[in-house]
Structure 1
């Protein structure tokens, strides 16, 4: 976190930009470490993903709506996880009936344990991710996302997409206390009380595009046999495998035929490296701050 003064100084730099295209061009030339966007990485992410505009007149209502929505989800989906003694039912806690709230609660606890195994291993070299408060936010966000996406559930790697979001949003945040109201947009944007809310929103928006990388074919689908199988058979593969094949079989030979031939001759299976690249959005291929 940083001081309110530091955050407001960074916020003033937004006046240098008029449109998202202007911001995009600047980032391509200077990165988010450029002097005009220093300390505004989380703001840029919200502008591109959530607001879809640099018109700050709309930001406050959009941001508050997203935070209210997450708070409602949190209260509903974590109510009995956080307060199991409040379960109101006459059903025997040991009952295995599918209608028993205790069965649902045990399934939720199993899901959280599965997620926590990855959260525990997240970025082991970074002390921030060893803090209990950080682990709890990662766990709760991923759990709620999975409850809203039962068709996918939790898949290993999702925590590595969420981790940089949490890192950036919390670094930009400010402990505003209770004396500051929501009339100041900068204070509203950086308020540390809503780090978890904003991270959930950004993660959900990113996963709209990335979720297909975690989907699997239907139970009746059969995987294609060879690496260079007919393209019509791609409909039987997961969206991730289809993407990998497209890159490996269609694009790479055009861009770098020598490399394509070398990998093919050596029987290098592209899934070995491209599954990680795509699922983690290249998160392990560059320095963390990049």
Structure 2
């Protein structure tokens, strides 16, 4: 019985494909990148190699400046800023309340001298900064509880066909957590919009591309980079998000 013929070797990429990829690499290698040229090349598709897609997206979304010499400085600044956002908006309310209490106790122990005598400040319960501070912490937490629950439900439904986002692996759960962090921080920084269903679907491709960057340092900061690119992307069509459509499939108005 004759053996079955082997599969033919894959066809080489067309000459224009090689040329297009070469032009993208050449455009990215310039000291000051021509964004119009890059946009034109990217409109035909961006090769998924050597982190090119990640870099192109960051440039065209305005996250990276077109001057390559400023990249390192700008990335360090933005990533540090995102870390501060996480500390401020994602902190455990129990720990935050304890911190407020510690600071309040330090202030209560302060004494001052008046007419040669030591005095302690007397503050009514209603005016006590410790009470007001702890109340503010918990009010802020409960204000966003419903939004947090909605984000959690939507993130768990994001691309159920991809192991990158779904499943019981620590990797998938870590990626889900990053999506939730970005969406919640965005909601808290944008009180006029907060969170609308469908935002998770816009964020997911950004995070997937940035987290898959072969450069380990860039992949490590995929959450921070995704946040700022997500903000830039939404700024162009934020009015299309309609909270009245939150119970629909996507929460986005078509036109």
> What range describes the TM-score normalised by the shorter chain of this pair?
0.5 to 0.7
Aligned equivalents of 1:205, 1:64: Cα separation in 2: 18
Pairwise CA distance, 1:273? 11
Structure of higher RCO (CA pairs closer than 8 Å, 6+ residues apart): 1
Deviates more, 1:59-68 or 1:130-139: 59-68
Aligned equivalents of 1:208, 1:66: Cα separation in 2: 17
TM-score by structure 1 length? 0.57
Aligned equivalents of 1:129, 1:273: Cα separation in 2: 19
Task: Count matched residues.
Answer: 195
Counterpart in 1 of 2:159?
123
Pairwise CA distance, 1:84? 6.1
Aligned equivalents of 1:53, 1:100: Cα separation in 2: 38
| Regions of 4+ moved over 6 Å | 272-275
Please tell me whether residue 66 in structure 1 is matched to residue 78 in structure 2. Answer: yes
Could you say what secondary structure the match of 2:191 adopts?
Answer: coil
Pairwise CA distance, 1:86? 3.7
- Consecutive unaligned residues in structure 2, runs of 5 or more: 1-23, 105-124, 126-130, 167-171
Pairwise CA distance, 1:106? 2.3
1:274–1:120: structure 2 CA closer, same or farther, 3 Å change rule?
closer
Matches within 5 A, 1:163-174: 163-174=204-215
1:114–1:12: structure 2 CA closer, same or farther, 3 Å change rule?
same
Could you say what secondary structure the match of 1:68 adopts?
Answer: helix
Please tell me whether residue 42 in structure 1 is matched to residue 42 in structure 2. Answer: no
Counterpart in 1 of 2:228?
201
Q: Report if aligned partners of 2:243, 2:251 keep a CA contact under 8 Å in 1.
A: no
Q: Report if aligned partners of 1:39, 1:172 keep a CA contact under 8 Å in 2.
A: yes
- Consecutive unaligned residues in structure 1, runs of 5 or more: 1-10, 177-189, 218-271, 280-290
1:195–1:102: structure 2 CA closer, same or farther, 3 Å change rule?
same
Q: Report if aligned partners of 1:51, 1:59 keep a CA contact under 8 Å in 2.
A: no
Pairwise CA distance, 1:133? 0.2
1:86–1:174: structure 2 CA closer, same or farther, 3 Å change rule?
farther
Could you say what secondary structure the match of 2:29 adopts?
Answer: helix
Counterpart in 1 of 2:203?
162
Deviation string 1:22-71 (CA, Å, 9 cap, x unpaired) is 22222234x1028xx76311101111122565320122222222111111
Counterpart in 2 of 1:23?
38
Counterpart in 2 of 1:257?
none
TM-score by structure 2 length? 0.64
Pairwise CA distance, 1:214? 1.5
RMSD: 3.6
